[in-house]
Amino acid sequence: MGTNLEAMVEESGKGREGSEVPPCMMYVDKEGAWFHKGAPIIHRELLVLFYQCLRLDEEGRYIIKFKDQVCRLDVEDTPFVILRTDFVPAGRDGEAERFVLHLTDHTKEDLVPESLSIGPGHVLYCKVKGGQFPARFSRPSYYQIAEYIQEEQNTDRYFLYLNKKKYYVEKRPEGRFAPKLH
């Protein structure tokens, strides 16, 4: 499994940490599908490894860092896409209501409602992986959460009402999601 990644990263121009970051020769489309030189990457374990090696550099570019090799990943929108959203009601034992997100990296995590935003074309986004990365809601996951989003009367604002609290869905400026680096 690592051999394929090493070969792909080496083929990209032998980028080493501290030098100019060469392209990975890989691309992620807006639906979260990965491609290498135009061919789909479908090997699940390899995709999981790519996600584990994914980073944002100081300039906000997506890079893959594997061992001491680094390459730049071309991304149409965001590499993380939310495939499904499940509402989990409050539990009898005091557990709060929440939304569970199913991501393209084959993981699940709870929605951080404060991170919701609307981008160009009314696309819904949130932050994932501890706030490190933006994630785009796929059309099915958008409709799954949209039934819980309400419009505030006499304003042009929307919010998610969860655990007796309003979480406003902020509009973000045109253009690619610009992650805030910590």
- CB environment 23-60: b (16+ within 10 A), e (fewer): ebbbbbeeebebebeeeebeeeebbebbbebbeeeeee
Q: What is the pTM of this model?
A: 0.83
Q: Same domain for 54 and 15?
A: yes
Q: Same domain for 60 and 8?
A: yes
176 assigned to some structural domain: no
181 assigned to some structural domain: no
Q: How many domains does the chain have?
A: 2
Are the C-beta atoms of 15 and 22 separated by less than 8 Å? yes
Q: Same domain for 111 and 138?
A: yes
Q: What per-residue confidence (pLDDT) applies to 58? A: 87
> Residue 174 is which amino acid?
E
Per-residue pLDDT tens over the stretch 39-69: 999 999 999 999 999 999 888 899 999 998 9
Average pLDDT for 116-139: 94
Q: Same domain for 37 and 94?
A: no
71 assigned to some structural domain: yes
